Copies of this chain bind each other. A is one copy, B any other.
Amino acid sequence: MTSQSMHDLRSKVAELLIVRISGYSQDHYRQYPRWEMANDQLRKLLKEGLGGVIIWGGSCRDIQHRCQNLNKWSNKKILICADIEEGFGQRFHGGSWFIPPMGIGQLFKKNPLKATELAESYGRSTGRQAKSCGLNWVLGPVCDINSNSKNPVINVRAWGEDSLTVSALTCAFQKGVAQTGVLTCAKHFPGHGDTHCDSHLELPALQHHYKNLDELELIPFRKVIHSGIDSVMTGHLLLKNIDSKYPSSLSYELTTNLLRKKIGFQGLVITDALMMNSITRKYSSGEAAVLAFSAGADLILMPEDPSEAINSLIQAIEKGEISMARVEESLERRRNAIKKISNFEITRNASINSCEIENNEERKLKEELITNSSEFHNEHTITIHTNGINLIRVDNSVNCPILIKPAPALSIPESAGYKSLICDELSISPWRKDKNEPLDLARIGNGPILLQLFIRGNPFRGGKERNEPWVNAVKQLQSKRLLSGLIVYGTPYLWEELLNVIEPHIAAAYSPGQTNDVQDYLLKKLMKQSIFIDQKAKKAHNVFTD
């Protein structure tokens, strides 16, 4: 091979990769330096022809700045995507962070038209804000059907629990994003809704046959593909009865035979992140990249070692294991996607918005979603207790994206005299070894407790929260007349369980969302007479703080 053709091949292969970078422009502000490529390597790869990046972290302004630099560093248009399933603000401070899709899924049961309309606006906002900050690809909608309520990784990320709801709402979301000229992505093919474990940690196995898939999981995928979705992401899921050896992201049977041939999808196929444990514990970066591409994927997402992935792909091509025709096919699909973005930009004014990131319409949408998805146990309100305890359960309070100053979950109860106490994986345990009275009240204190549970089945946690005995804890507090109120932010399944035991007079509420806006809405409803009545608490709270 001549050095020129080697250079050309390298450039073509680099175009197949999407690497993970930080939204912060400077290397030492990366939040995950292990996973986020440093700028030196990034610039080198962009020069070599890198196809795109996936961005994590930073504020909207950081992202605008970052994307301007990326475009300067690359000599062609690249794909810039993010995992923004719940609005741009889910990942980037300053954008709109909506309630998770499941909230709209629940509304669909009562009012399908309204729910569909909201899902479309949800998509439109996500696309508009992504674009105004320089992104051109939204890695959503999640098309998984949350048919298994014990699913530790999908849960509220899903648009519903049945195929009709998920199909209708993901199509609406896709339509909304498409109006902004930003690409969309259906995930996680062929369906991650019925799994018991988290593919970030281990490889979930499913007993599904084609028949099962056809009857449930594939329905939303077929629908969004029919509606013109731009890309499909293949999941790390082992469907033993279909491909006993490879997970769908590395499976020719599932990627090519099913997705390409049977379903007939013509757009971009991208793998889920190859640096996830379910892949890395078995395959090297090179092996995973070659297997995924050979299986039929066009783009390789987040290989643990991008250079190794490129080298292995080149070797496979040189050895004839991968044909150039196959490479050209994927490049052609990528070009088409880029063309679609560019055509939109030419016909519309796509300049980066220098004004507000979140517009009034989006702010109203955010509120409407909250009011439409919240539930209240009764009309009671939480009363003041000068020795009250505001017990908050979160995964991790450090850099917690849902406890952002002024965090109403803290500030509102505090203004009514409650002392805040946070229980998370980094704090002294609130539990003791008594199944029926699991809370260690000697540690927590004996005042009346307002319980705020932020539990949504987050990925990477392996469903740890499922082992926490909140049902018994609520019973314990009630039996001692120490429960002054209860709020569940997140999973509807825990809320349903608690509704079975909560006494009629206890003030309680639920929202699928967890953000400041949600906290503010629920707490003001539940504490309306109580806020700022306690003058002492008010005084303490009014101190000018830095």
Contact = CB atoms under 8 A, between A and B. Distances in A.
B59 A543 contact: no
A94 B422 contact: no
Contacts of A325: none
Given A400-B398, A405-B31, A276 B26 contact: no
Contacts of A399: 400, 403-405, 407
A361 interface: no
A375 interface: no
Contact of A58 (B59, B398, B406, B444): B59
Given A397-B397, A405-B32, A427-B428, A544 B275 contact: yes
How many copies, total? 2
A444 B428 contact: yes
Given A26-B94, A62-B61, A35 B428 contact: no
Contacts of A356: 25-26
Interface in A179-211: 200-201
Interface of A is mostly: loop
Contacts of A282: none
A426 interface: yes
Among A64, A358, A403, A427, find the residue whose CB has the most chain B CB atoms closer than 10 A.
A427
Interface in A259-286: 273, 275-277, 280
A29 B404 CA distance: 9
Contact of A542 (B34, B400, B423, B459): B34
A430 interface: yes
27 contacts: A25-B94, A25-B356, A25-B357, A26-B94, A26-B356, A26-B358, A29-B94, A31-B405, A32-B545, A56-B546, A59-B61, A61-B62, A62-B62, A62-B94, A83-B546, A200-B545, A273-B544, A277-B543, A397-B397, A397-B398, A397-B422, A398-B403, A420-B426, A421-B426, A423-B427, A427-B427, A428-B429
